[in-house]
Amino acid sequence: MTKRILTAALLLLITTPVLHAGGGQTTGMQFLLTGPSAHNMGISEGNTASLSGASSIFLNPSMLALEKQSSATISYMIWPATDTQNSFAGLAYRRDNDAFGVAFMSSLIDDVAFRQNPTQNPDGTFSVRYFSVATSYARNIGPLSLGLTGMYLHEQYFQQDAGGYGLNAGVGMNIFDERVRLGASLRNLGSMDELSETATELPTMLSFGADIRFLQFSTTAADDEIPLLVSFIGDFNLPLNEFEPEDGSISPQKDGYFNLGMELRVSDLIDLRGGYRTGETERRFSLGAGLLISEFYFNYAFMPYETGFGTAHAISLQYNF
């Protein structure tokens, strides 16, 4: 029963455009702002200026051209309290001066009860589904990298569905011998067809970010040198939709907020990371870890929610080539 109540609350927040007294509305398609990989989630999605492989297709496509190599990524997130599952798969192909990317991302909210009459037992259950298929192109032009992503979007709620299109655009650059990377992106600019009588609004976001490798040193253990690298990752995000989130909700934030993260890389083998998000949010902290073995990069993220929404977990695998 508790799980169904939480699921119903989540649906009210992310699937139905609800008008408020202030004249704004909540936006749907919130899965476009999540992750999409465990690496991203472990630092509270502060990845506007970070190299994260195919995930950049949905975060900042300009980063694809700054990658050192090509990669393929798969990721899966589960949020048991709300029966939510997110999946992602993407390919980033790097060339000398440009890069291509293609990706698929989906979100499934399962076992949603429906009733035709106010009865104790539901008449049945259904699933709410969202997905996006996206392709990107990025190119280095002088010191800058420019990128663009085109997305096809689809949502299905009970017996109704709708399609739409969206764009992501970004710019990035390395400075100080690649110790600092800067980025800016405009995400989810587009529109959806009507679902029933109302079209879902895309969560359009303007983001500015920095990825700073600010401390590099070595320590000694059993007569072996262990290199350590500490990085700071930070984003400032400005929602461009006009809406009024309810107090204590998990709906998108109204005002600008920061995603801040720290990452420790040990001996080019293990990554330990944590993230913090400011503003009105029910997901304040996140933790994560990564393991690099040859060309493979395994990641895990732990994301606790406040006020009874439980904890989400994510795993991902990236293959570099």
Q: Where are the domains of the chain?
A: 2-320
Residue 177 has pLDDT above 70, yes or no: yes
Is residue 44 exposed (0-12), middle (13-18) or buried (19+ Cβ within 10 Å)? buried
270: enclosing H helix or E strand: strand 270-277
Q: Would you state the pLDDT for residue 197?
A: 80
Give the count of alpha carbons within 13 A of 223, CB side only. 0
Least confident residue range of 37-51, 250-264, 297-311? 250-264
Query: pLDDT tens digits, residue range 188-221?
Result: 999 999 887 888 899 999 999 999 998 888 777 6
Residue 236 has pLDDT above 90, yes or no: yes
pTM to 2 decimals? 0.84
Query: pLDDT tens digits, residue range 100-122?
Result: 999 999 999 876 666 677 777 77
Strands 194-195 and 98-114: unpaired
DSSP track, 159-185? TEEEEEEEEEEEEEEEETTTTEEEEEE
Q: What is the rounded distance in angstroms from the CA atom of residue 5 to the CA atom of residue 3?
A: 5
Q: What is the rounded distance in angstroms from the CA atom of residue 41 to the CA atom of residue 314?
A: 8
What's the Cα-to-Cα distance from 200 to each of 28, 96, 238, rounded to whole Å?
A: 6, 39, 19
Chain length of the chain: 321
Residue 295 has pLDDT above 70, yes or no: yes
Superfamily of domain 2-320 in CATH is Outer membrane protein transport protein (OMPP1/FadL/TodX) (2.40.160.60)
List the one residue out of 58, 312, 84 whose CA is nearest residue 185: 58
* H helix runs in the chain, sequence order: 2-14, 38-41, 56-59
Q: Would you state the pLDDT for residue 9?
A: 42
Place of tokens 């096809």: 152
Q: Would you state the pLDDT for residue 110?
A: 76
Contact call for residues 155 and 203 (beta carbons, < 8 A): no
Q: What is the rounded distance in angstroms from the CA atom of residue 64 to the CA atom of residue 139?
A: 8
Q: Region 18-32: what's the mean pLDDT?
A: 50
Q: Region 81-90: what's the mean pLDDT?
A: 91
Residues 6+ apart with CB under 8 A from 27: 17, 200, 201, 202, 203, 241, 243, 252
Tokens of 309: 């929404």
Q: Which residue has better confidence, 99 or 126?
A: 99
Report residue 248's pLDDT band, with 50, 70 and 90 as the boundaries. very low
Percentage, residues of the chain above pLDDT 70? 84
Least confident residue range of 17-31, 33-47, 66-80, 160-174? 17-31
Q: Would you state the pLDDT for residue 244?
A: 53
List the one residue out of 284, 312, 275 whose CA is nearest residue 50: 275
Q: Would you state the pLDDT for residue 111?
A: 67
3-state secondary structure of 283: coil
